[in-house]
Chains A and B, each alone.
Chain A
Amino acid sequence: DIQLTQSPSFLSASVGDRVTITCRASQDISTYLVWYHQKPGEAPKLLISAASTLQSGVPSRFSGSGSGTEFTLTVSSLQPEDFAAYYCQQLKLYPLTFGGGTKVEI
């Protein structure tokens, strides 16, 4: 199975901060990676597909980059509604796997 290692697990930040989350894959997954955020009590929301494609309606302060085994999600200026959990997921091979998550807190 492909392991995804997300870091950090927890991140304390302030409104306006630039935040970067890393996701490392245990083997080459090309750009078969997506990013979600999830607020408490809600379903995950897809932010980024194919490692760097911003989903329709997602603010441009979110961006994704990377290929192969190393990927990053960046929020250029954190807004109050961005305090949530973030997950990466690989779509290269079954079983589809997730990173352990990053909780972004104030």
Chain B
Amino acid sequence: EVQLLESGGDLVQPGGSLRLSCVASGFTVSSNTMTWFRQAPGKGLEWVSDMTGISITSRTGTAYYADSVKGRFTISRDNSKNTVYLQMSSLSVEDTAKYYCAKGSFDIWGQGTMVIVSS
């Protein structure tokens, strides 16, 4: 079965760091674009970051970021663990949200993991 399972969400103080994980099963993350989205409580959806799959032009994939997280968040992939990560630093209260990872054409989403930034 194709599925995604996020983890790593927690309560963290402003300025802190956190790493989210997204473990994939039923497909290979390195062959697919993997995406992180987030949704603040009671709000709409926001795209956070993409990591494209391995291709002829890119052996590692290419990362893209929303302006709101650029320079603070880093997306990465461990092919041996079939896992995508989102390293988050310099967190602020505006980063409080449920974070979802999604596969390729967004047909598969995880259940999400909650990040709360508060003092």
Contacts and interface: CB of A to CB of B under 8 A. Distances in A.
A36 B107 CA distance: 10
B105 A96 contact: no
Contacts of A43: 100, 109-112
A95 B110 contact: no
Interface centre among A42, A44, A96, A97, by most chain B C-beta atoms within 10 angstroms, is A96
A91 to B, nearest CB: 8
Contacts of A95: 47, 64, 66-67
A55 B111 CA distance: 19
Contacts of B110: 43
Given A43-B112, A95-B66, A34 B106 contact: yes
Nearest to A55: B107
A94 B64 CA distance: 8
Which 3 A/B pairs are nearest by Cβ-Cβ distance?
A: A96-B47, A43-B109, A101-B44
Interface of B: 35, 37, 44-47, 50, 64, 66-67, 100, 105-107, 109-112
27 contacts: A36-B45, A43-B100, A43-B110, A43-B111, A43-B112, A44-B45, A44-B100, A44-B109, A46-B105, A46-B106, A49-B105, A49-B106, A49-B107, A55-B107, A87-B44, A89-B106, A94-B50, A94-B64, A96-B47, A96-B50, A97-B47, A98-B44, A98-B45, A98-B46, A99-B44, A101-B44, A101-B45
